[in-house]
């Protein structure tokens, strides 16, 4: 803690931000206390903002602005390898990292105040800034229809990945710098500005056309948790909790009402388990369009995607939306109210919020759903770690040298949140809450909740204290503080656990097999580990094994040690089925089993390794098929059932078929298990195709469950009152469509069956919408498609269309057209149709053509449609190796108005790349390398997530080192020399550029080292004179920024000028690039030699 | 048989040859008709309690009555032509009257009122010679409230219906089959029509008509159509909530759904009219007679039709009632809750002058 103060040299107890979005100008006032005597420079974070005046205690202060992240590598640099970029990027982010005391904006304390500072007295910094055409941080949504901004439903909201508040006002953009806030926003009278804290009052401006919203946040909060949403929102006060207010866009109020009607229960749950009141005096939820992420939690408010809203008729979206609500609320406690000390403590917050969210899931959706979710998350993290080589929760950066990077297997630095790949960060959060669950396993839930309660009560005591009491740091959580709390509360030592899962990356991979020794009546279990593959680690410690025998279920705890592979487990059941008696299960239930299938000599029914998932592991266990079948039928744990289903895929026998069918029919069985059984049954049926008897798998079952008694070919009219059968009804046809006959075609019977389901679908008497059901029917049709028999590359025309495909196409056409007239919720049907069309194209039934998808991918379609269409284009790009489409996608990444879509294209391209580093492709050429390089180097500086996405794609396409398609440099050394020269002699190139752009302020002025500026007044006057330069009206067409909110006001004389100015500004920063890396931490000596040698 | 139905304005007056004033038979015809109208107006005035009236006012009222009747005729003709018929039926006239703002419910009672005056038959000189058509059966006598000089009922075979309907299809399978194929046909026809009339996309370069896809059109506010339930769904929700026992035959239900969907559900009466037409159509057709029902005979179906119409109206209002209940929900709660966002916006104080720059 002290270190931080020393770094920064000040603390800021109060901050007020005033933004008038009408003219997009604002000011920030920071009150800071110097903590060191020789504070003469203050560094703040700011991006995009045009700062034109800084005053400290009413004295003009000189400032300098330098943002090395605008262009990471020098544009002249010929280097194209990703290693180089990642290092440079990490260095650039470090150079402005607020936690290290850095920032883009450096303010010099006027010499008159030095004495003042030495006495450690209060400084008031007043910064005037304007925000022009922000490309990130604030997102404007302005539909292009007639009417005023409010009538058009135009709105704006803050967004970003991790600490991104600097994009819209200058601040110390760190989660660890707490202060209280006073926020004022002046907006159009028809708009509502929602921000953090209490709305104190709303006042009209003098002309009565605008309103100013005054917010006060008395709980110390980090700048990164400050947010804003402005729009013509409809307001709904929660009927259960009047201090909670919900906001949505016009016309959606009925949906908002239904969607949020559940929220109070989440509140009650968290408050009860944490035995702590919700920390803020109010809570606001805002639902906005074109959301950056589905859920974003900020102090006392959460911003959601408007697409989470749903009516009472929608089944599938309801649990998803409720989960989002619960997730955001958990983050209100841990993440917003309690903030983190540093980036390496992030896992604690994500872990706790994810963990209590899990508890909520368990209570709301039941233990089965919870265990299923844990298993799902575990599988995800295991798969990711094995693929990429590990996720490290608590990176410790010792010497600070990049050499001992703890995550050298990755193509990005994990030292900063802003350099992380988005996928890595998602997995990071996933692992964090799983580790929290492991801690709970160790110390019990009771202690766990006590620890949380302790953290919260300390924080709330601290939050009510005055700044001077130095208590506020209690509101920040650190790994060590958290661990200390745990050991205080529980008295248990969890250090080994932390060391294994938190301080170290990787998961455990077990291989298990066994033999039964009849003579000794002992189960000889062999457990091997793979700890050499990337992403794995060695596990030493206890491991629970559960053995189900004839006489009951027994838990054994094995000690996994260095060299012991074999474990002898004595069996309890002496004799085998001597008497006909019931078999006791783990949960005390006793059941009758048909034991004829089992091995006569062995009393073992099934064995499970680590049944409670108390190790982050992957288990590959070998046991006989009948054991898996018993496990599926009689083990009551849904995870075990799912594991056995997965294992049975390898045993296509009539017995497996019977076990799966029985599970499918059993109504007490968890619906997700039954759904999984459908797909497994389809696979088994395909493997058994030559010996399969009877109608196609699941057909008679479906008929029995969902069709009319009198006419079995007609499905009953829809009644989705029972959600379990609803999900099963949706899934079964999808799985059935995967069936194949001996010719590897989908049986005609199945196709007719599905077509009949569609034909007789009747939802008129149903209380719920059937849009998801119909969408899945189209998915089923798509699943039934098999590759076309093509006679030497004939052109696909209508005439040679397969008659089955013709029927499918008929349905798709009708569905897709009906969607235009009667759109379904979230256009699920359109999405499925687009996917199905792509499947038809890919299988050669329909000519492969991206035109249709491209038209659906345009801005203005619902985001789900766009993503589905883009996915098809991405796939087309890959399959047809189309350079044109790749360019089209890349262009969209750069120009699309929706940040989420841009991010999504990148991640889809990464997942389904047109080529990879290990394959040859005609697409891979120098121009593409340059283009992508430019994209990640400078094209995405306004969005961390996008930049990291571009890095991921670059890595997938070209790998870490120099892309193979680039011509070999004649001599590596020459390149280095060039590089060195450029760095050593930075003034040469920049001046050329500056000159050519006729930049008003000469290069020298900008580069002046702060230490050398003695006459700050002169410096300022120069800056001011730059600003006062007469503007050139009409230079830029007004329409040019018509998508900005409050454009019509003539108020800003300087606006045009500023705009132009900012433009130049970027180029100026580019010019300064070479010294970007040299500045970290030291903050001085811009002219120090390069670091490249 | 077409002559049986006649427009009300033209009925009951024949031409008189050899008139005093004019030799033109057409003029005579009009004069006679007008005189009859005058008598009607006078008798109505007397009935209303007037002792005497100025000639000018009687003329004016006559003129008004004449225009009104002509308008009924004209409008009824339009309605009948709209449905591709040449002869107006009772329903056309009812629709016309409704359209003109006339409360049809009151008509039967009015016709049977006790104090009504019976007007003497207009002077009939020579009946127009109509070719004797083949008569079959005994014509029905006029009911007491219809003056005897009105035309006679047509031959019974033109309106007497013999119920020849088949056993109602109760077989579940057939009904489902019918509903499904009917819906599919409607959907296909509708989408094809939309595709024909608008821009399309095609999956095959060489063929644009077999699988025409309506072109994707971006929305200005895409989330609205994606999230809000359609009116059809809202209506459905209402129906399934309120009347689970609703046992209408599937086909009609479907027709109604399709129609209300295709047309924007609005408040205007025009829409009600269309609904009526749709509701009426099945009533006419099951009888099996393509012949338009003559007016007098229609007394019995009249009541039935009104019942039906009120039913349709009820359905419409229920849809409409739902909207305010969904949209205007926060009225009740606002008054008691103190939430900062609900507080009134303050007026600026003079003192409070924030300079932003």
DSSP string, B122-149: PP--S------PPP-SPPPPPPTTS-TT
Most confident listed range (A356-365, A960-969, B127-136): A356-365
* Cα of B320 to nearest chain A Cα, Å: 15
Q: B253–A764: do the CB atoms touch at under 8 Å?
A: yes
Of B218, B334, B356, the CB nearest to A859: B218
* Cα of B262 to nearest chain A Cα, Å: 9
pLDDT band at A809 (very low <50, low <70, confident <90, very high): very high
pLDDT score of A14: 64
Q: B229–A710: do the CB atoms touch at under 8 Å?
A: no
Lowest mean pLDDT among A480-494, A908-922, B161-175: B161-175
Q: B227–A242: do the CB atoms touch at under 8 Å?
A: no
Q: Contacts of residue A26 in chain B, CB cutoff 8 Å?
A: 356
The token pair at A789 is: 């028999």
Q: A767–B241: do the CB atoms touch at under 8 Å?
A: yes
pLDDT score of A978: 41
Asked whether the predicted pLDDT for residue B126 surpasses 70, the reply is: no
Task: Confirm or reject contact between A712 and chain B (CB < 8 A).
Answer: no
Residues A821 and B190: beta-carbon distance below 8 Å: yes
Asked whether the predicted pLDDT for residue A971 surpasses 90, the reply is: no
pLDDT score of A1076: 34
What average pLDDT does this structure show over B206-210? Answer: 79
Distance CA A745, CA A752 (A): 13
Which residue in A807, A805, A804, A734 sits closest to A772, CA to CA? Answer: A734
Q: B204–A847: do the CB atoms touch at under 8 Å?
A: yes
The token pair at A699 is: 């057909």
Asked whether the predicted pLDDT for residue B149 surpasses 60, the reply is: yes
Contacts 24+ apart (CB under 8 A), A271-277: A273/A356, A273/A359, A273/A449, A274/A333, A274/A356, A274/A449, A274/A452, A274/A453, A274/A456, A275/A449, A275/A453, A276/A333, A276/A453, A276/A456, A276/A457, A276/A460
* Cα of A883 to nearest chain B Cα, Å: 21
The token pair at B319 is: 């849809």
- Give me the residues of A, 188-217, that contact B with CB < 8 A: 189, 192, 198-206, 208, 211-212
pLDDT score of A100: 85
Asked whether the predicted pLDDT for residue B28 surpasses 60, the reply is: yes
pLDDT score of A854: 95
Q: Is A847 exposed, middle or buried (0-12, 13-18, 19+ CB in 10 A)?
A: middle
Tally C-beta pairs within 8 A across A and B: 215
Asked whether the predicted pLDDT for residue B20 surpasses 60, the reply is: no
Task: Confirm or reject contact between A878 and chain B (CB < 8 A).
Answer: no
What average pLDDT does this structure show over A974-985? Answer: 39
Of A206, A252, A820, the CB nearest to B348: A206
DSSP assignment, residue B169? Answer: -
pLDDT score of B9: 39
pLDDT score of A526: 93
pLDDT band at A434 (very low <50, low <70, confident <90, very high): very high
What average pLDDT does this structure show over A162-172? Answer: 90
pLDDT score of A123: 87
Q: What is the CA radius of gyration of chain A?
A: 32
Task: Confirm or reject contact between A821 and chain B (CB < 8 A).
Answer: yes
* Cα of A454 to nearest chain B Cα, Å: 31
pLDDT band at A222 (very low <50, low <70, confident <90, very high): very high
Asked whether the predicted pLDDT for residue B289 surpasses 60, the reply is: no
pLDDT score of A473: 87
Q: A239–B333: do the CB atoms touch at under 8 Å?
A: yes
Considering the entire predicted model, what is its pTM?
Answer: 0.76
Lowest mean pLDDT among A347-356, A722-731, B284-293: B284-293
A808 versus A112: which is more confidently predicted?
A: A808
Lowest mean pLDDT among A703-707, A852-856, B272-276: B272-276
pLDDT digits (tens, 9 = 90+) for A915-928: 998 888 888 888 99
pLDDT digits (tens, 9 = 90+) for A464-489: 888 776 788 889 999 999 999 999 99
What average pLDDT does this structure show over A403-416? Answer: 73
* Cα of A276 to nearest chain B Cα, Å: 23
Of A708, A820, A862, the CB nearest to B172: A708
Which residue in A443, A437, A429 sits closest to A384, CA to CA? Answer: A429
pLDDT band at A575 (very low <50, low <70, confident <90, very high): low
Residues A819 and A830: beta-carbon distance below 8 Å: yes
pLDDT score of A396: 80
Q: Contacts of residue B228 in chain A, CB cutoff 8 Å?
A: 251-252, 255, 311
Closest residue of A to B235, CA-based? A764
pLDDT band at A658 (very low <50, low <70, confident <90, very high): very high
Q: B207–A798: do the CB atoms touch at under 8 Å?
A: yes
Closest residue of B to A198, CA-based? B340
Lowest mean pLDDT among A438-447, A885-894, A954-963, A986-995: A986-995
Asked whether the predicted pLDDT for residue A979 surpasses 80, the reply is: no
What average pLDDT does this structure show over A151-177? Answer: 90
In this structure, the number of other CB atoms found within 10 A of the CB of residue A508 comes to 23
* Cα of A840 to nearest chain B Cα, Å: 10
Q: B172–A765: do the CB atoms touch at under 8 Å?
A: no
Tell me what the pLDDT averaged over chain B comes to.
Answer: 67
What average pLDDT does this structure show over A834-850? Answer: 93
* Cα of A300 to nearest chain B Cα, Å: 14
Asked whether the predicted pLDDT for residue A456 surpasses 90, the reply is: yes
Of B204, B333, B341, the CB nearest to A199: B341
Task: Confirm or reject contact between A711 and chain B (CB < 8 A).
Answer: yes
Distance CA A569, CA A607 (A): 11
pLDDT digits (tens, 9 = 90+) for A235-290: 999 999 999 999 999 999 999 999 999 999 999 999 999 999 999 999 999 999 99
Q: B214–A816: do the CB atoms touch at under 8 Å?
A: yes
Residues A744 and A786: beta-carbon distance below 8 Å: yes
Q: Contacts of residue B261 in chain A, CB cutoff 8 Å?
A: 821-822
pLDDT score of A852: 94
* Cα of A123 to nearest chain B Cα, Å: 20
To which residue do tokens 């005390």 refer? A588
Asked whether the predicted pLDDT for residue A1064 surpasses 50, the reply is: no
Distance CA B356, CA A127 (A): 11
In this structure, the number of other CB atoms found within 10 A of the CB of residue A1010 comes to 18
pLDDT band at A673 (very low <50, low <70, confident <90, very high): very high
- A405 φ, ψ to 5°? -60, 120
What average pLDDT does this structure show over A594-599? Answer: 82
Q: B261–A822: do the CB atoms touch at under 8 Å?
A: yes
What average pLDDT does this structure show over A573-598? Answer: 77
What average pLDDT does this structure show over B221-250? Answer: 68
Asked whether the predicted pLDDT for residue A5 surpasses 90, the reply is: no
- Give me the residues of A, 132-161, that contact B with CB < 8 A: 143-145, 153
pLDDT digits (tens, 9 = 90+) for A32-91: 888 888 888 889 999 988 898 999 988 999 999 999 999 898 877 778 889 889 999 999
Looking at chain A, the whole-number percentage of residues with pLDDT higher than 70 is 84
Q: B204–A798: do the CB atoms touch at under 8 Å?
A: yes
pLDDT score of A837: 96
Distance CA A563, CA A546 (A): 22
DSSP assignment, residue A240? Answer: S
pLDDT score of B336: 66
* Cα of A998 to nearest chain B Cα, Å: 28
Q: B176–A310: do the CB atoms touch at under 8 Å?
A: no
Of B194, B227, B357, the CB nearest to A307: B227
pLDDT digits (tens, 9 = 90+) for A686-744: 999 999 888 898 999 999 999 988 888 899 999 999 999 999 999 999 999 999 999 99
Of B232, B237, B333, the CB nearest to A237: B333
Closest residue of A to B331, CA-based? A236
Tell me what the pLDDT averaged over chain A comes to.
Answer: 84
Q: B220–A145: do the CB atoms touch at under 8 Å?
A: yes
A948 versus B231: which is more confidently predicted?
A: A948
Closest residue of A to B261, CA-based? A822
B181, B227, B351, best to mutate vs chain A, most A CBs in 10 Å: B227
pLDDT digits (tens, 9 = 90+) for B297-346: 333 333 333 333 333 333 333 333 343 334 334 444 445 678 899 888 88
Q: Contacts of residue B200 in chain A, CB cutoff 8 Å?
A: none
Closest residue of A to B229, CA-based? A825
Q: A237–B341: do the CB atoms touch at under 8 Å?
A: yes
Looking at chain B, the whole-number percentage of residues with pLDDT higher than 70 is 58
Distance CA A112, CA A1056 (A): 35
A1019 versus B68: which is more confidently predicted?
A: B68
What average pLDDT does this structure show over A435-450? Answer: 95
Closest residue of B to A20, CA-based? B356
pLDDT band at A1062 (very low <50, low <70, confident <90, very high): very low
pLDDT score of B127: 52
pLDDT band at B3 (very low <50, low <70, confident <90, very high): very low
pLDDT band at A588 (very low <50, low <70, confident <90, very high): confident
Q: A282–B217: do the CB atoms touch at under 8 Å?
A: no
Asked whether the predicted pLDDT for residue A634 surpasses 80, the reply is: yes
A208, A257, A715, A764, best to mutate vs chain B, most B CBs in 10 Å: A764
């Amino acid at each position: 803690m002290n270190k931080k103060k020393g770094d920064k040299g000040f603390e800021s107890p109060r901050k007020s931000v005033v933004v008038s979005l009408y003219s997009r100008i604002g000011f920030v006032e920071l009150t800071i206390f110097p903590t060191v005597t020789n504070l003469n420079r203050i560094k703040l974070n700011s991006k995009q903002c045009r700062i034109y005046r800084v005053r400290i205690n009413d004295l003009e202060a000189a400032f300098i602005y330098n943002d090395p992240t605008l262009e990471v590598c020098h544009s002249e640099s010929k280097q194209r390898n990703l290693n180089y970029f990642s290092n440079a990027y990490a260095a650039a982010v470090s150079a402005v990292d607020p936690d290290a005391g850095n920032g883009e904006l450096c303010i010099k304390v006027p010499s008159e105040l030095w004495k003042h500072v030495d006495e450690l007295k209060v400084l008031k910094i007043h910064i005037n800034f304007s925000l022009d055409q922000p490309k990130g941080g604030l997102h404007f949504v302005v539909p292009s229809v007639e009417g005023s901004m409010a009538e058009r439903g135009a709105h704006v909201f803050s967004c970003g990945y991790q600490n991104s508040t600097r994009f819209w006002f200058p601040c110390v953009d760190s989660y660890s710098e707490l202060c209280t806030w006073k926020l004022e926003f002046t907006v159009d009278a028809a708009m509502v500005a929602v921000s953090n804290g209490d709305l104190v009052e709303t006042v009209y401006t003098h002309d009565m056309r605008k309103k100013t919203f005054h917010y006060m946040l008395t709980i110390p909060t980090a700048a990164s948790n400050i947010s804003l949403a402005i729009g013509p929102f409809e307001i709904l006060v929660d009927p259960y909790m009047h201090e909670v207010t919900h906001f949505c866009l016009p016309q959606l109020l009925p949906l908002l009402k239904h969607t949020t009607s559940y929220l109070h229960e989440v509140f009650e749950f968290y408050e009860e388990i944490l035995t702590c009141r919700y920390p803020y005096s109010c809570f606001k939820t805002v639902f906005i369009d074109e959301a950056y992420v589905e859920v974003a939690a900020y102090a006392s408010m959460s911003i959601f995607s408007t697409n989470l809203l749903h009516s009472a008729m929608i089944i599938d979206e309801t649990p998803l939306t409720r989960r989002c609500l619960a997730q955001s609320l958990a983050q209100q406690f841990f993440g917003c109210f309690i903030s983190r000390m540093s980036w390496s403590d992030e896992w604690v917050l994500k872990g706790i919020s994810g963990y209590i969210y899990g508890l909520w899931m368990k209570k709301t959706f039941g233990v089965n759903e919870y265990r299923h979710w844990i298993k799902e998350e575990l599988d995800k993290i295991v798969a990711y770690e094995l693929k990429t080589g590990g996720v490290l929760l608590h990176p410790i950066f010792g010497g600070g040298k990049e050499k001992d990077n703890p995550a050298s297997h990755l193509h990005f630095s994990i030292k900063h949140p802003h350099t992380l790949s988005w996928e890595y960060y998602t997995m990071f959060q996933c692992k964090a809450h799983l580790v929290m669950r492991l801690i709970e396993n160790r110390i019990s839930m009771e202690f766990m909740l006590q620890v949380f309660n302790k953290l919260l009560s300390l924080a709330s005591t601290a939050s009510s204290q005055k700044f001077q009491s130095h208590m506020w740091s209690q509101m920040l959580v650190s790994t060590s503080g958290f661990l200390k709390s745990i050991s205080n509360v529980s008295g248990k030592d969890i250090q080994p656990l932390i060391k294994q899962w938190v301080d170290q990356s990787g998961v455990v991979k077990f291989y298990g097999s066994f033999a039964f020794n009849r003579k000794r009546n002992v189960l000889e279990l062999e457990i091997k580990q793979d700890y050499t593959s990337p992403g794995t680690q060695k596990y030493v410690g206890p491991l629970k094994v559960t053995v189900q025998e004839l006489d009951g279920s027994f838990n054994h705890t094995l000690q996994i040690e260095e060299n012991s592979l074999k474990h002898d487990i004595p069996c309890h059941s002496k004799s085998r089925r001597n008497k006909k008696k019931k078999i006791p299960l783990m949960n005390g239930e006793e059941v009758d089993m048909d034991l004829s299938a089992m091995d006569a000599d062995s009393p073992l029914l099934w064995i499970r390794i680590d049944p409670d998932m108390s190790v982050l592991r992957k288990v590959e266990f070998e046991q006989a098929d009948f054991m898996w079948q018993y496990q599926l039928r009689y083990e009551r744990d849904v995870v075990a059932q799912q594991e056995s289903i997965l294992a049975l895929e390898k045993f296509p026998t009539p017995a497996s078929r019977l076990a799966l069918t029985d599970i499918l029919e059993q109504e007490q069985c968890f619906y997700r298990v039954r759904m999984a059984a459908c797909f497994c049954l389809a696979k088994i049926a395909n493997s058994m195709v030559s010996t399969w008897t009877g109608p196609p798998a699941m057909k008679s079952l479906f008929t029995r469950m969902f069709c009319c008694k009198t006419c079995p070919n007609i499905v009953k009219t829809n009644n989705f009152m029972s959600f379990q059968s609803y999900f099963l009804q949706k899934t079964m046809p999808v799985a059935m469509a995967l069936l194949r006959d001996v010719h590897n075609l989908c049986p005609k019977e199945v196709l007719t069956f599905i077509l009949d389901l569609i034909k007789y679908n009747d939802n008129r008497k149903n209380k719920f919408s059937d849009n998801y059901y119909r969408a899945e029917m189209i998915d089923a049709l798509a699943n039934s498609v098999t590759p076309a028999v093509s006679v030497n590359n004939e052109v696909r025309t209508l005439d040679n269309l397969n008659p089955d495909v013709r029927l499918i196409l008929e349905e798709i056409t009708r569905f897709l057209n009906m969607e235009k007239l009667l759109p379904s919720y979230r256009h699920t049907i359109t999405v499925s149709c687009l996917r199905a069309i792509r499947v038809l194209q890919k299988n050669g039934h329909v000519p492969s053509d991206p035109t249709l998808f491209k038209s659906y991918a345009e801005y203005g379609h619902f985001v789900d449609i766009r993503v589905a269409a883009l996915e098809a284009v991405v796939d087309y790009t890959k399959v047809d190796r189309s350079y044109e489409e790749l360019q089209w996608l890349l262009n969209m990444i750069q120009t699309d108005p929706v940040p989420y879509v841009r991010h999504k294209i990148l991640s889809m391209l990464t997942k389904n790349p047109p080529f990879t580093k290990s394959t040859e492709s005609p697409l891979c050429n120098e121009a593409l390398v340059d283009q992508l390089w430019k994209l990640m180097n400078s094209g995405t500086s306004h969005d961390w997530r996008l930049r990291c996405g571009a890095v991921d794609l670059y890595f997938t396409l070209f790998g870490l080192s120099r892309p193979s398609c680039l011509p070999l440099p004649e001599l590596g050394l020459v390149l280095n020399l060039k590089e060195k020269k450029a760095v050593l002699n930075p003034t040469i190139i920049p001046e050329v550029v500056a000159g050519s752009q006729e930049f008003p302020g000469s290069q020298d002025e900008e580069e002046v080292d702060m230490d050398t500026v003695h006459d700050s007044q002169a410096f300022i006057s120069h800056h001011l004179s730059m600003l006062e330069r007469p503007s050139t009206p009409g230079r830029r067409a007004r329409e040019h920024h018509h998508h900005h909110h409050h454009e019509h006001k003539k108020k800003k004389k300087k606006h045009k000028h500023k705009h132009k100015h900012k433009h130049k500004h970027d180029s100026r920063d580019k010019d300064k690039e070479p010294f970007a890396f040299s500045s970290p931490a030291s903050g001085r000596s811009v002219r120090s030699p390069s670091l490249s040698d | 048989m077409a002559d049986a139905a006649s427009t009300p304005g033209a009925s009951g007056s024949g031409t008189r040859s050899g008139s005093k004033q004019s030799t033109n038979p057409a003029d005579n015809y009009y004069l006679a008709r007008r005189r009859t109208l005058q008598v009607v107006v006078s008798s109505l005035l007397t009935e209303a309690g007037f002792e005497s009236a100025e000639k000018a006012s009687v003329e004016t009222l006559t003129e008004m009555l004449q225009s009104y009747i002509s308008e009924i005729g004209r409008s009824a003709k339009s309605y009948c032509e709209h449905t591709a018929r040449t002869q107006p039926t009772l329903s056309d006239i009812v629709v016309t009257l409704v359209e003109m703002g006339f409360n049809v419910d009151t008509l039967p009672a009015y016709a049977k009122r006790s104090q009504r005056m019976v007007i003497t038959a207009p002077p009939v000189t020579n009946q127009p010679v109509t070719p004797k058509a083949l008569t079959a059966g005994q014509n029905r006598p006029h009911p007491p409230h219809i003056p005897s000089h009105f035309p006679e009922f047509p031959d019974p075979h033109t309106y007497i219906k013999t119920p020849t309907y088949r056993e109602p299809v109760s077989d579940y399978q057939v009904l489902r089959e019918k509903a499904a194929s009917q819906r599919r046909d409607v959907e296909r026809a509708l989408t094809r029509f939309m595709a024909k009339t608008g821009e399309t996309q095609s999956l095959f370069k060489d063929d644009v008509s077999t699988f025409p896809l309506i072109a994707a059109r971006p929305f200005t506010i895409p989330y609205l159509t994606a999230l809000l339930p359609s009116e059809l769904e809202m209506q459905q929700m209402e129906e399934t909530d309120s009347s689970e026992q609703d046992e209408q035959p599937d086909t009609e239900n479907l027709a109604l759904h399709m129609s209300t969907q295709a047309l924007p559900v609005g408040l205007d009466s025009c829409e009600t009219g269309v609904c009526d037409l749709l509701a009426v159509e099945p009533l006419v057709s099951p009888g099996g007679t393509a012949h338009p029902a003559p007016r007098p005979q229609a007394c019995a179906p009249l009541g039935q039709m009104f019942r039906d119409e009120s039913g349709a109206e009820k359905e419409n209002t229920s849809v409409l009632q739902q909207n305010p209940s969904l949209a205007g929900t926060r009225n009740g709660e606002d008054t008691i809750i103190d939430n900062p966002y609900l507080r009134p916006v303050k007026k600026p104080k003079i003192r409070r002058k924030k300079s932003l720059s």
